[in-house]
């Protein structure tokens, strides 16, 4: 079974060379520091762009960069990046408020200590409910466990889920211009430092 957000095209970008790019990319930032640390504001930019009214055709890379630079001023990485969901939501909440956009935000944290974590089924349901509601999910991965397709200490955007015949849940994510699939259950079991998931329902 596969479920996706309804319009991935709204965060698929047209680059100057005519190629298509899956989502905003921190490599679009103009400075070395922003390119190195910018995965948090980049993911927030994907959530924001998806929440805007749909438009015909693709948004351009230049349009995305304008939003990314704006959001950087609110979802601003420290030397350790946007290292937790609280930093992410505090900044993004302020940005949305300045834009006059109403929102609802929900968070599921995955603590470092395993005994403090919610059951995996609650996390699966949280992500699935968002995707079924046509809402992408911001995913903070502080340690990638055994997931070789997932960078550690990194924010990505979940755009779909897949349930395989063994009832394992896979997340389809936009990262660095690519659509990548990772095993949520394996990540949850093997991650050492955890992370978290953030959902925004924007109401323009």
Q: Which residues contact 101 (CB under 8 A, 6 or more apart)?
A: 51, 202, 203, 204
Mean pLDDT on 111-123: 96
Residue 113's contacts (CB-CB under 8 Å, 6 or more residues apart) are none
> Interhelix angle for 61-72 vs 85-98, to 10°?
110
In the chain, DSSP finds a helix count (H) and a strand count (E) of 6, 10
Is the pLDDT at 25 greater than 70, yes or no?
Answer: yes
* Separation CA 94–CA 115 (nearest Å): 32
Asked whether residue 37 carries a pLDDT value surpassing 90, the answer given is yes
Count how many domains the chain has: 1
CA gap 73, 84 in Å, rounded: 17
pLDDT score recorded for residue 54: 82
Question: pLDDT per residue over 147-157, tens digit each?
Answer: 888 988 999 99
CATH number for the domain that contains residue 33: 3.90.70
Expressed as residue numbers, the domain containing 31 is 2-203
Mean pLDDT over 7-36 rounds to 96
Q: Is the pLDDT of residue 104 over 90?
A: yes
pLDDT given for residue 204 in this prediction: 64
Answer whether residue 96 shows pLDDT above 90. yes
């Amino acid at each position: 079974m596969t479920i996706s957000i309804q319009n991935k095209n709204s965060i698929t970008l047209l680059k100057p060379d005519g190629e298509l790019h899956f989502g905003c990319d921190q490599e679009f930032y103009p400075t070395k520091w922003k390119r190195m640390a910018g995965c948090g504001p980049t993911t927030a930019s994907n959530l924001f762009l998806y929440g805007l009214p749909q438009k015909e055709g693709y948004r351009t890379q230049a349009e995305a960069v304008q939003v990314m630079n704006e959001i950087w001023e609110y979802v601003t990485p420290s030397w350790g990046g946007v290292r937790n969901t609280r930093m992410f939501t505090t900044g993004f909440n302020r940005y949305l408020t300045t834009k006059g956009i109403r929102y609802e935000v929900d968070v599921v944290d995955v603590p470092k200590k395993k005994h403090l974590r919610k059951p995996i089924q609650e996390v699966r349901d949280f992500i699935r409910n968002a995707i079924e509601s046509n809402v992408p999910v911001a995913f903070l991965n502080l340690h990638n466990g055994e997931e070789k397709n997932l960078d550690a200490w990194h924010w990505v955007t979940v755009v779909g889920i897949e349930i395989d015949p063994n009832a394992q849940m896979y997340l389809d994510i936009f990262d660095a211009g690519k659509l990548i699939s990772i095993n949520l259950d394996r990540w949850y079991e093997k991650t050492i430092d955890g992370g978290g998931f953030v959902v925004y329902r924007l109401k323009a």
